[in-house]
Amino acid sequence: MAGIFFFAENRGQALEILSAARGLGDTLKTTVSAFIFESGVDGQELINCGADEILLLPQLPEDQGYDCYIPVFAEEAKSRDPDVFLFPATTPCKDIAARVAGRLNTGLCSSCIAIGTGDDGKTIVMERLAYGGAALQKVVSECRPAMATIAPGTLTPAEQKGTREGKISELPQPAPSAVKVLERKAKAKESRDITEAKVIVCVGRGFEKQEDLGLARELCNLLGGEMACTRPISEEMKWLPEELCIGLSGASVKPQLYLGIGISGQIQHVTGLRNARVICAINKDENAPIFGVSDIGIVGDLYQVVPKLIAAMKG
C-alpha cells in the first residue's frame, strides 16, 4: 500500500500540512490521510481542502498525554506502509514524531520549511534551515516512510476545492501509557498571536528605554498591526513577552507588512520573517544587515523618523 499520512493538533496546523501532503499525493498519485482529534478540527473541511481520509483520534483521559498515540501511529503505518508521514514541529509533536520514527526504523527530518519530490518524481526531498538560518539544507530521504516535522507558519494553508467525498473513521481507544499527567497548567499569554498578524511592527535594540516603545506602539495602532520584537528585547531586557519574539528561536511570521524599527537584522531574526510580503526597516546605520532583506529602507534616527510617520498618518 501507499499514501501520505499526517497528524495535526489544530485546524491551522492541519491546513498548512495538508497543502504539502496534497502536493505530494498528486505527484506520487496516492491518497492523503489525516490523523486529527475528534473535536477541534472539521474532518469534512479537510476533505474539501484535499484530504481523502480522516482518522479520528479518541479523546484521552485527563491523566494521559500524547505518547498514548505513539502505538496507534506506528501500527497504522506498519499495516498500511505510507510513503510519507508528516507532523507539526511543535514541542510535543517533535517528541512523538521521533519516537514513531524509532518504532518504524526510519529517519526523521526536523523543522522542514518545504517538502517535495526530486527530478525523478519519486524521491522525497525536504528543505530546512541550517547554520542559524544562514543556509538552506536539502535532505533526501532513502527510508520508508519518509518522515518530517513541518515548522508552523511556513506553508500556505490548503484551500477548499469544492465539495469532495472522503472517508472518515474513528480509531479505537489506545492502551493507557505508563507515564501519567499529574497536572496541567495553561501558560498565560500576555499578547495576541503574532503569527496571524497581517501587519507587524517589530522593535529592536535601537530603542534606548522601555518607555520609548510607546512610539512604536502608537505607530502600530495606527497601522492596525501587532507589536513584535527581537530576542534581546524579550529575553535580555524583559521589555516585551517572549511570545512576541521573531526569529530562529522565536516565531516565524508571514505578514503583508513587516516594519522593523531599530533592528540590525542578524540572521537569527531575519530567519523568522523571510515569508513577509513587504519588509520595511528603519535604522540609523546604512550598513545594517536588515536593509539587505528589505523592500523599503529608511536610514535615519528612529526618534526622528517614527514621530514623522505618526504625524503623517494622523494627517
Q: Once rounded to an integer, what is the mean pLDDT over residues 58-74? A: 90
Beta bridge partners of 36: 56
pLDDT surpasses 70 at 189 = no
Would you list the domain boundaries of the chain?
Answer: 4-170, 194-314
Q: pTM of the full predicted structure?
A: 0.79
> How does the average pLDDT of the chain come out, rounded?
91
Q: Which of 123, 140, 157 is nearest to 15 (CA)?
A: 157
Nearest to 50 by CA among 170, 155, 157, 150: 157
Q: Is 237 helix (H, G, I), strand (E, B) or coil?
A: coil
Q: In angstroms, rounded to a whole number, what is the distance separating the alpha carbons of residues 101 and 25?
A: 21
Q: Do domains 4-170 and 194-314 have the same CATH topology?
A: yes
Tell me the pLDDT tens digit for each residue of 207-220.
999 999 999 999 99
How do residues 285-312 score in pLDDT, each as one tens digit?
Answer: 999 999 999 999 999 999 999 999 999 9
Specify the CATH architecture of the domain 194-314: 3-Layer(aba) Sandwich (3.40)
Q: b vs e for 11-47, b when ≥16 Cβ sit within 10 Å of the residue's Cβ?
A: ebbbbbbbbbbbbbbeebebbbbbbbbeeebebebbb
| pLDDT tops 70 at residue 191 | no
For 135-151, the pLDDT digits (tens) are 889 999 888 999 999 98
The domain 4-170 belongs to what CATH superfamily? HUPs (3.40.50.620)
Q: Report the phi/psi class of residue 103: left, alpha or beta, with left for phi > 0 and alpha for psi in -120 to 50.
A: alpha
Question: Grid coordinates representing 200?
Answer: 507587524
